Amino acid sequence: MGLFFRRIVKGISNVIKWFPIIWNDRDWDDTYLHVLLHKKIESMYNYLTDDELTYGVHHKNHIRKLLICKLLIERILDQGYLERALTPYRRKYGTSEIIRKITDDRWIMFYSGKRGDLYSRCSDHSYFMEQQDYNMLHKILAKYSSYWWD
Burial of 137 from C-beta contacts in 10 A (0-12 / 13-18 / 19+): buried
**Angle between helical axes of 60-78 and 30-48 (0-180°, round to 10):** 150
Q: Which pLDDT band holds residue 58 (cuts at 50, 70, 90)? A: low
| Structural domain count, the chain | 1
Mean pLDDT, the chain, whole residue set: 85
The per-residue pLDDT for 107 is: 58
The overall longest dimension of the chain from CA atoms, in Å, is: 75
- C-alpha span between 38 and 30 (Å, rounded): 12
Cα 7 from Cα 110, distance rounded (Å): 62
Question: What are 95-146's pLDDT values in tens digits?
Answer: 655 655 565 566 555 566 777 788 888 989 999 999 999 999 999 999 999 8
CB–CB of 108/101 below 8 Å? yes
Rounded CA separation 104/42 (Å):
48
73 φ, ψ (degrees, to nearest 5): -65, -40
More confident position, 109 or 79: 79
- Identify the domain containing residue 45 by its residue range: 2-147
Contact predicate 73/137, CB 8 Å: yes
41/96: higher pLDDT = 41
